Amino acid sequence: MRRIHFLLIAVAMLAGGIICVVPASGQADKSAAPVYLDKMPKGFRDWQLISVAHEAGNLNSLGAMLGNDVAMKAYREKTLPYPDGTIIAALHYSHLPNAENNAVFGKAQSYTPGPPSNYQFMVKDSKKYAATGGWGFGSFTPDGKPFAVAQMKSCAPCHAKASRDGVFTTYAP
């Protein structure tokens, strides 16, 4: 069961362009390295939209990527690398068929968010997070508990493979 969770969450996380292979639940590791966030950024649900994403696979996921003001300005002005203070949030939800929409449309084709799976963040601070390309990472349960540090070690090496300063998500106009 634990292995299943591991795989499913890995899928869900790529959906939002923030890639961390972690189990479905976890507790904060007291030996947390500074590269990992221990609190969710305040007010992130009110941020503006960068883009959306869908990850197929065993556990389909729908994601919304939001950015704080620094992130949105950088995205819109195509600033690379992202300036310090950039925060990108990836809100992941289960990808569920929507019975009401399907009934109206007469086809089983509408998928909308179920309960949130996790909230993830990338924070740019070129000094603090110099060892990981200037990015700090955080993965949280829907009620705001951080995943264990050992379970977020895949974030930085995966993001290092992204061609735009470690960021997979591009701006949806």
The tokens describing 9, both together, are 């969450």
Count the Cβ atoms, other than its own, within 10 Å of residue 163: 8
d(CA 104, CA 77): 41
The tokens describing 30, both together, are 């007291």
The tokens describing 93, both together, are 């939800």
The CB-of-12 to a copy of itself minimum distance in angstroms stands at 11
112, 98, 89: which is closest to 167 by C-alpha?
Answer: 89
Stretch in the footprint of a copy of itself (CB under 8 A) among 23-31, 39-47, 131-139, 144-152: 39-47
The CB-of-146 to a copy of itself minimum distance in angstroms stands at 18
R_g of the chain computed on alpha carbons: 16
Task: Note whether 93 binds a copy of itself by CB under 8 A.
Answer: yes
**Please, which contacts does 73-76 make with residues 24 or more away whose CB atoms are closer than 8 Å?**
75/50, 75/171, 76/171
Task: Note whether 64 binds a copy of itself by CB under 8 A.
Answer: yes
Report 124-143 residues binding a copy of itself (CB under 8 A): 142
Q: Using alpha carbons only, what angle is made at residue 66 by residues 40 and 111, rounded to the nearest 5 degrees?
A: 105
Pick the binder of a copy of itself from 4, 33, 39, 112 (CB under 8 A): 112
Pick the binder of a copy of itself from 2, 42, 78, 107 (CB under 8 A): 107
Nearer to a copy of itself (CB atom), residue 50 or residue 123: 50
Stretch in the footprint of a copy of itself (CB under 8 A) among 6-14, 23-31, 33-41, 127-135: 6-14
In sequence order, the β-bridge partners of residue 95 are: 113
Task: Note whether 7 binds a copy of itself by CB under 8 A.
Answer: no
Binding stretches for a copy of itself (CB under 8 A)? 10-11, 14-15, 17, 19, 45-49, 51-57, 62-64, 66, 91, 93, 95, 98, 100-101, 104-105, 107, 109-113, 115-116, 142, 158, 161-163, 168-170, 172-173
